């Protein structure tokens, strides 16, 4: 019974390894470069904007990244890796 609890806990949140390649690249880019806007991610990763948007949606759905409104331009969101710290 204990193994069932472990299995369900580990399948509750997929790891980065299970995500599409574009999402993995976005995670690595945020890891190395810190917080970035979508436009900066497009430039850094050289992925099409549509692909970056898809990756960001997948990562947000899995709570692997956070987004906040930019103070410099309220139309932009700044993305960063989510932390497990409270």
Contact by Cβ (8 Å): 26, 56: yes
Architecture of the domain made up of 2-81: Orthogonal Bundle (1.10)
pLDDT one-digit tens code per residue, 11-43: 445 677 889 999 999 999 999 999 999 999 999
Contacts of 10-13 with CB under 8 Å at 24 or more apart are: 13/62, 13/63
| pLDDT (tens digit per residue) in 61-71 | 999 999 999 99
Q: Find tokens 């949140």 and name the residue.
A: 13
pTM as predicted: 0.78
Rg (CA), the chain: 15
């Amino acid at each position: 019974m204990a193994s069932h609890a472990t299995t369900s806990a580990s399948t509750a949140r997929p790891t980065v390894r299970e995500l599409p390649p574009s999402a993995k690249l976005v995670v690595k880019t945020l890891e190395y470069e810190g917080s970035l806007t979508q436009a900066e991610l497009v430039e850094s990763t050289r992925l099409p904007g549509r692909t970056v948007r898809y990756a960001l949606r997948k990562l947000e759905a899995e709570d692997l990244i956070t987004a906040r409104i930019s103070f410099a331009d309220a139309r932009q969101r700044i993305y960063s890796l989510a932390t497990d710290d409270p």
